[in-house]
């Protein structure tokens, strides 16, 4: 009995990464839209989801690094999210040049929906992969991220 080559061996790793992320992305977008949050711009998911998971407030400068966009684009992104009621801007009292960003009530509500959608995918994944395999995957992805950071630091 000859073993069939699995489809994913015909696909590059970056392509796998792309499509894997799409699974999360569409699931989160669908859930958000169903709950009435259908006006979140592209990178808004990253911002809202990240803030709910990690930090209560985030300096705008972090966005620039994380999303690898210009500060103008970051400002514009925050602008629309403020306009649409998801975010609040505040001046950092320690350094009055800095702006920090916090979720509004609406923003937190959206974050909850988004987080649940994400966890749903995480749960579905555990039906197809062992917990240990998921851990290894996350560690390996982290290694890839570190390679990117390293390279960036090297040529700077």
Partner DNA sequence: CCATTTAGTCATGTATATTGACTATCAATC
Partner DNA sequence: GATTGATAGTCAATATACATGACTAAATGG
- Out of 107, 138, 154, 156, the only residue in the binding site for its own copies (CB under 8 A) is 138
Binding mask 27-46 for its own copies (x = CB under 8 A): xx----------------xx
| Binding status of residue 36 toward DNA by CB under 7 A | no
- Out of 34, 38, 41, 53, the only residue in the binding site for its own copies (CB under 8 A) is 53
- Out of 12, 56, 72, 94, the only residue in the binding site for its own copies (CB under 8 A) is 12
Rounded Cα–Cα distance for residues 99 and 61 (Å): 8
Neighbours of 61 (CB within 10 A): 14
> By C-alpha distance, which of 8, 20, 32, 57 is closest to 116?
32
| Binding status of residue 65 toward its own copies by CB under 8 A | no
- Out of 43, 102, 104, 115, the only residue in the binding site for DNA (CB under 7 A) is 43
Q: 27 vs 43, 44, 78, 103, 135, CA distance in Å?
A: 15, 15, 23, 21, 21
Nearest to DNA of 80, 88 (CB atom): 80
Tokens of 9: 């061996």
Angle between helices 44-53 and 60-67 (to 10 degrees): 120
Residue ranges binding its own copies (CB under 8 A): 6-28, 45-46, 49-50, 53-54, 66, 68, 118, 121-122, 124-125, 128-129, 133-134, 136-148, 151-152
């Amino acid at each position: 009995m000859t073993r069939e080559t699995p489809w994913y061996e015909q696909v590059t790793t970056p392509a796998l990464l792309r499509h894997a992320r799409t699974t999360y992305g569409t699931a989160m977008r669908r859930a958000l839209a169903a709950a009435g949050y259908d006006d979140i711009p592209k990178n808004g998911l990253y911002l809202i989801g990240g803030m709910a998971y990690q930090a209560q407030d985030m300096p705008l400068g972090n966005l620039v690094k994380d999303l690898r966009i210009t500060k103008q684009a970051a400002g514009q992104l925050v602008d629309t999210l403020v306009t649409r009621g998801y975010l609040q801007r505040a001046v950092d009292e320690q350094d009055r040049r800095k702006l920090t960003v916090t979720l509004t009530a609406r923003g937190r509500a959206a974050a909850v929906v988004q987080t649940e959608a994400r966890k749903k995918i995480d749960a579905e994944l555990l039906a197809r992969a062992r917990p240990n395999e998921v851990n290894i995957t996350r560690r390996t992805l982290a290694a890839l991220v570190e390679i990117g950071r390293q390279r960036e630091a090297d040529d700077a």
